[in-house]
Structure 1
Amino acid sequence: MVGAPRRGGRVTEESGGETEVVVREKADLAEGVVGLALGAADGGVLPSWRPGAHVDLVMPDGLVRQYSLCGDPADDRTWRLGVLKEGPGSTFVHERVNVGDRLVTRGPRNHFALEDAPGYLFLAGGIGITPILPMVAAAEAAGADWRLVYGGRRRAAMAFLDDLGRYGERVEVRPQDEYGLPDLDAVLSELKEGTLVYCCGPEPMLAAVEERCARGELRTERFAPKPVSGPDEAFEVELALSGRTVKVEAGRSILETVEEAGVAVLSSCREGTCGTCETPVLDGEPDHRDSVLTDEERADGGFMMICVSRARGTRLVLEL
């Protein structure tokens, strides 16, 4: 079996807490991209993970950012990250994190798990190659039928090209300044039955793939929230485990409201992309506004991301 079969719901991994790590290596991987190798600060074994997983990196000032694990899941002593310099979190990593520094991580968590399938089409744009890299290695090791199309603005800014070179013609490297934008219509028209499509990259790329690809075969991961809109009206939330009912006002999130009521909820991105605040729904219909759940999971309504999602109606009952 190549990856993890879907089990009628979420496919996730979670260590259940924080891990203190030490930076063992730091190196330039491409223009604007640095790689970190992290080990457990106590010299022990790190929490296990599967291809597609990410960890939360907690900065000294409390800022939290998610980075995909791009190394070898079999190496339980090392986590490898590729970090593109964009925004305050990654700028801190680029400019102030050094070998020997200690950092705090949370996870791993996986909402982009590699599922069992006879074939795969991997589509990566820019730093979106990071979760795809261990997927490619797993598919190759299992003898699966797979193909990777990897795009970027220019070759010098595309990380891991040397690592991918060993796969030969299975990998198509398409820098935009040499080839233009990938021909997604041509790429997706060649899909064989049963092939799963894994796509990670900038929002325009993800949106274009979603327009062209059947939902049942497509898996995506976003580094920024998907644009959403909808009514912003007040509603009630019953907290089944706490025995309380709170009112979520317009302009306020469920997460903010329950935190103000003294209910602790594990959270990270607060924009619907990381899946950390996923909460079971016991009654009511969620208005999903996250960038994590699949269409099938949204229709099922058993879980929601309370940092951004709301209620379709006047009341929800949550397992909090």
Structure 2
Amino acid sequence: MRPSTSQGTEHVHTLVIAERRDEADGVISLTLRRADGSALPPWSPGAHVDLVLGNGLERQYSLCGDPSGAGAWRIAVLREPDGRGGSEYVHTRLTTGTRVGARGPRNHFELRTAERYAFIAGGIGITPLLPMVAAAEAAGAPWSLLYGGRSRSSMAFVEDLARYGDRVVLRPQDEYGLLDLADHLGAPRTGTAIYCCGPGGLLDAVEAYCQAAGWPEPHVERFQPKADAAAGENQRFEIELSRSGLTLQVPADASILDTVRAAGVSVLYSCTEGTCGTCETDVLDGVPDHRDSVLTAAERAAGDTMMICVSRARARAGAQTGRLVLDL
């Protein structure tokens, strides 16, 4: 079980954009520092931060710099004209010298120790994998990276990856078509961990291939919720908040997050879509109905943590409604 981040509120760091660079077509990187140059909180490969952009906008971006560089955080942002406004704000409003709020870092995509690694990136999904590749290299673990994008000009950090030689396989779609997962992964190899980040279609394909080929469940990070993540009928259920001493009814048309906030309970949250992991909460009793896109199959089966922005409660055998006891 990962440590829960659901207790209290989290400090917002006021940072300055120290550098802004064009990394590819539609992709910029931002280097964030404190104004006084003091150290930032430590992080590990796979971590992300929330940018607090104002006007109610908050967005999660993977850290893609060097974890040993305590004085700076680096993120990369793809401009999405048809998105929800966050990337457009970053591209048009954040320039060198601009101040911006940031929360975190948090890590729900942690690089676990393995004998060898197979990394797969699609588009801007390269960002959390950059420090993972560097960590695997530093540890002396064998690794490979399959990196695809719409076109070569749209693929960020290609120059940074050139130093790794043929362990990095670049496959722009306009030159090679869709990524050949069978060629890259092949038959299951003991001790190999698969890490993948990118568009939902790629992650679905990787998960499906691994299941069919007999690979262990891959480690994935999603930018958008799974298409069927919220499937299921919504029913009323009860929650008990162990630390707050409250018992609340969660209506069919509201989430646990909505309900506890309406009761005045302070809880961390960000995406409200079940993808960022910010609202992860420990479950002390009851059976969660997991509808997030963060937890692995093993973590869902354990049932000791849940994302309260989207997940609900299952009724136990013989019970009319579900009931959960949460560490809130």
User: TM-score of the superposition, structure 1-length normalised?
Assistant: 0.94
Q: 2:24 aligns with which of 27, 30, 33?
A: 30
Aligned pair in 2 of structure 1 residues 114, 11: CA closer, same or farther (>3 Å)? Answer: farther
| Alignment partner of 1:46 is 2:48 | no
Compute the RMSD of aligned alpha carbons. Answer: 1.5
1:270 partner SS: coil
* CA spacing shift, 1:144–1:57, aligned 2, 3 Å: same
Distance, in Å, in 2 between the alignment partners of 1:192 and 1:144 is 14
Q: Which string of whole-angstrom CA distances, capped at 9 and with x for unpartnered residues, describes residues 62-82 of structure 1?
A: 210000000000000010011
Counterpart position of 1:317: 325
**Where in structure 2 are the equivalents of 1:153-302 lying within 5 Å?**
153-214=150-211, 216-227=216-227, 228=229, 229-302=231-304
C-alpha distance in 2 between matches for 1:232 and 1:190: 40
Residues 39 and 12 (structure 1), Cα distance of their counterparts in 2 relative to 1, 3 Å cut: farther
Distance change >3 Å, CA 64–CA 247, structure 1 → 2: same
- Give the drift of 1:40: 1.4
Deviation at 1:190, TM superposition (A): 4.4
Residue in structure 1 matched with residue 148 of structure 2 by the alignment: 151
Contact (CA 8 Å) 1:125, 1:205: kept in 2 or not?
yes
The 4+ residue runs of structure 1 with deviation greater than 6 A are 11-15
* Offset at residue 41 of structure 1 (A): 2.7
Q: Mind listing any 5+ residue stretches in structure 1 that lack a counterpart?
A: 1-8
Query: Which residue is equivalent to 2:79?
Result: 85
Distance 2:200 2:141 in 1: 28
- Aligned partner letter, 1:136: V
**CA–CA separation in structure 2 for the residues paired with 1:196 and 1:12:** 24
1:182–1:34: structure 2 CA closer, same or farther, 3 Å change rule?
Answer: same
Specify the alignment match of 1:139 in structure 2.
136
Secondary structure of residue in 2 paired with 1:58: strand
Q: Percent of aligned positions with the same letter in both sequences?
A: 60
Distance in 2 (alpha carbons) for counterparts of 1:48 and 1:62: 27
Q: Could you report, residue by residue, the CA deviation over 1:96-144 in whole angstroms, capped at 9, with x for unpaired residues?
A: 1111111110000000011000100000000000000000011111111
Q: Secondary structure at the match of 1:316?
A: strand
Q: Deviations over 1:237-275 (max 9, x none)?
A: 111111111111112100001100111111111111111
CA shift in 2, pair 1:11/1:258, >3 Å: closer
User: Using the alignment, how far apart are the partners of 2:116 and 2:21 within structure 1?
Assistant: 33
Per the alignment, do residues 302 and 12 of structure 1 end up closer, same or farther by CA in structure 2, a change over 3 Å counting? closer
For 2:3 and 2:77, the matched residues in 1 are separated by 24
Contact 1:20–1:40 (CA<8 Å) still a contact in 2? yes
Q: Give 1:3's aligned residue.
A: none
CA shift, 1:12, in A, is 7.9
Shift of 1:185: 2.1
Partner of 1:4: none
* 2:117 is equivalent to residue 120 of structure 1: yes
Aligned residue in 2 for 1:6 = none
Q: CA separation of 1:21/1:138 partners in 2, compared to 1, >3 Å: closer, same or farther?
A: same
Deviation of the 1:192 alpha carbon: 2.2
Normalised TM-score (structure 2): 0.92
Aligned to 2:2: 10
Do 1:12 and 1:110's aligned partners in 2 also have CA atoms closer than 8 Å? no
Shift of 1:189: 1.4
Q: CA deviation at 1:216?
A: 3.4
The alpha-carbon distance between structure 1 residues 261 and 16, as it changes in their structure 2 partners (threshold 3 A), is closer
Could you list the runs of 5+ residues in structure 2 that have no partner in the other structure? 316-321
